[in-house]
Structure 1
Amino acid sequence: MKIKEIIVVEGRDDTVAIKRAVDADTIETNGSAVNEETIEKVKLAQKTRGVIIFTDPDYPGQRIRNIVSERVPGCKHAFLDKEEARPKNGKGIGVEHASIASIQKALEDVKQEWMGAAMEISQEDLIVARLIGDSKAKSRRERIGKLLKIGYANGKQLHKRLQMFQISKEDFIRAVEQINKEEKGSC
């Protein structure tokens, strides 16, 4: 599988994992202190080939994703679930621990960022769907992130991602109904 876009990853081990799974070029941020030189490389990559941000499903990875996305608009995003990014020994979390199949699937399910999208899903919708302000909100957000392939996000980030990736109200409702059905089945 050949990827035209340049993939932004956190470090050398992520690059190795990506190259094992697909034929692609990467830019490494070398941690969460993304410097100006790296941002300039990403801007050039975005102009010439496009960019896919593929960071770890943890706080530092989300921070890097936000910094790059803010400074370089219009990026695509690939997401892994935390379970897919854990090593067999259970220590740590990262793209470098994901299987080839998980990396390939994340890159097949890449999401395009769209800024200025109409707000189809409101904050009220998130409350009604029990994605914020509910004792099970975190686990429900984890599940909806997986179903919609937009990764885990806190309540505020979830609302932003739903807009940024132009998730339709219909897809949102279908995902919430699936979560409700799963919760009823586990009772």
Structure 2
Amino acid sequence: MIREVIVVEGKSDTAAVRRAVQADTIETNGSAVDESVLKRIELAHARRGVIVLTDPDHAGERIRKIVAARVPGCKHAFLSQEEALRGEDVGVENASPETIRRALANLRTEVPGAEPQIFWSDILRAGLTGRADSASRRWEAGLALGIGYCNAKQFLKRCVMFQITRDEFAAAIAGLNGGKASENGEV
């Protein structure tokens, strides 16, 4: 049984989570997260802790941001779009139990007010923005770091929020560059 309450978008997501693990969930009922749901999430966080597991799409990211802004210090589990894809539908409900268990085993905890270890210059040097292949590089680096896919500004924000270390970042980038920390040898 997972101690924390898992925040998901809907009933199908709850069913998928329960196929994978024993856990309680709170459903946001889509991206229009209302005040009563946010109050339940706050209470769950205060009493048991909260894990946010939303769809790897725009609406899921919107929900994740709303919850994180209202309830700082949440834990976050991420699925890639490929892991949550069935046909053209992307969602937690499509993920296998093994994939959900892996995402829950690789939680990232938000640390409000964290001192950054990764900076915009690191994002640029790593080719995570400003290149034709930057989106695919962010995709792979996000998978390696367990922070999901996002645009370059959000990628940096997640690196800071989840206290990604320089060593973790360098290892993820080395995986993209055939073992080198960056294409020019720098972190």
Which of the five TM-score ranges fits, normalised by the shorter chain? over 0.9
Find the aligned partners of 1:97 and 1:154 in 2 and give their Cα distance: 24
Residue 22 of structure 2: aligned partner: 23
- For each residue in 1:58-84, what CA deviation from the matched residue of structure 2 results, as whole angstroms up to 9, or x when unmatched? 000000000010011100000001110
Shift of 1:91: 2.1
Residue 75 of structure 1: aligned partner: 74
Residue 8 of structure 2: aligned partner: 9
Residue 35 of structure 1: aligned partner: 34
* Partner amino acid, structure 1, of 2:144: L
Find the aligned partners of 1:113 and 1:160 in 2 and give their Cα distance: 11
What's the secondary structure of 1:8's corresponding residue? strand
What's the secondary structure of 2:80's corresponding residue? coil
Residue 118 of structure 1: aligned partner: 115
Name the structure where helix makes up a greater proportion of residues. Answer: 1
RMSD between superposed Cα atoms in Å: 0.8
Shift of 1:98: 0.3
Moved runs in structure 1, 4+ residues, more than 2 A?
none
Find the aligned partners of 1:134 and 1:91 in 2 and give their Cα distance: 27
Find the aligned partners of 2:115 and 2:27 in 1 and give their Cα distance: 33
Match of 1:104 among 97, 101, 104: 101
1:160 aligns to 2:160 (yes or no): no
* Partner amino acid, structure 2, of 1:15: T
Which ranges in structure 1 are unaligned for 5 or more consecutive residues? Answer: 183-187
Find the aligned partners of 1:164 and 1:144 in 2 and give their Cα distance: 16
Shift of 1:133: 1.2
Shift of 1:114: 0.4
TM (normalized to structure 2)?
0.94
Which ranges in structure 2 are unaligned for 5 or more consecutive residues? Answer: 180-187
Identity of aligned residues (%): 51
Shift of 1:147: 0.3
Q: Between Structure 1 and Structure 2, how many residues are aligned? A: 179
Residue 135 of structure 1: aligned partner: 132
Find the aligned partners of 2:117 and 2:22 in 1 and give their Cα distance: 36
